[in-house]
Amino acid sequence: MKQPFSLTAWIWLMTIVLVVAFIPFDPHLSEWAQGLPEEIVAFNRAITDIGTFAWMIYTSAVLLLIAFIVRRASARDTVRQRARAARNLSAYFLLTIGTASALVHGLKFLIGRARPELFADYGAYSLTPFTGDTLFESFPSGHSTAAGAFFGAFAMVMPQLRPLFLLSALLIGVSRVVVGAHYPSDVAAGLLLGLWVALMMAFVFARQGWLFAFGTGRLPVLKNPGHSRSGK
């Protein structure tokens, strides 16, 4: 199956942009974004909390539980097959989002970057690790990581809509800069982390024969339902 849009190319592009463009201009871009017209700021404030881990994890867990129960309870093979596919899909989202959450919160604690609201006292590149204070947990952006993992997982299972999902993740990430919660490099790093986790988890699933298989270039692609392994 040919990939309509290369997720790995997008990830490498973001890495280059993070290093070359965002980090040197973080304070200026942050100040400019927060000074946008109030209508734009209000819109970004309204959408920014879409990028929270909690609802993503709870929804994936509930769907996984429902699929598991249906598969166990049904005696019809067609229903069991569909429930198995739904179970694997829900498990992929749950493990992707859960792993991304654990990684980003660990990195936040270890790095300890001050948020933009502390710019006057600490500047844009101050690191105070191990504080446990959310004011010093700016890098990477948690909302952006959640959006990268969530929409990245969708991009893996629906590659024909990949550009739309990646732009949706970017929109949530940009909102974190506009509302003053993060610097642009925090957002770029978060999106990058979330996308990498979505891709790497697809590799794990493909190796187990769950949901994905290895396609052209040994990249994971969504499996043809007719070729699923029995019991998986």
The per-residue pLDDT for 84 is 83
Q: How far is CA 19 from the centre of its chain?
A: 20
pLDDT for the residue numbered 21: 64
Terminal C-alpha separation, the chain: 21
For residue range 206-217, list pLDDT tens digits in order.
999 999 999 877
pTM attached to this predicted model: 0.87
The helix/strand/coil state of 229 is coil
DSSP 8-state assignment for residue 155: H
Q: What DSSP designation does 3 have?
A: -
* Beta strand residue intervals within 101-202, DSSP E: none
Could you name the CATH architecture of 7-205?
Up-down Bundle (1.20)
One-letter amino acid identity for 49? D
What are the angstrom distances between the C-alpha of 12 and each of 49, 57, 97?
A: 26, 27, 21
At 230 the pLDDT is 41
Which tens digits make up the pLDDT trace of 7-45? 667 677 767 776 666 778 889 999 999 999 999 999 999
Residues of the chain with pLDDT under 50: 1-4, 226-232
Where are the chain's structural domains?
Answer: 7-205
- Distance CA(107)–CA(16), nearest Å, equals 20
What confidence score (pLDDT) does residue 75 get? 64
Q: Please, how many CA atoms are within 13 Å of residue 172, restricted to the half-sphere of its CB?
A: 26
* Both structure tokens of 140: 């990477």
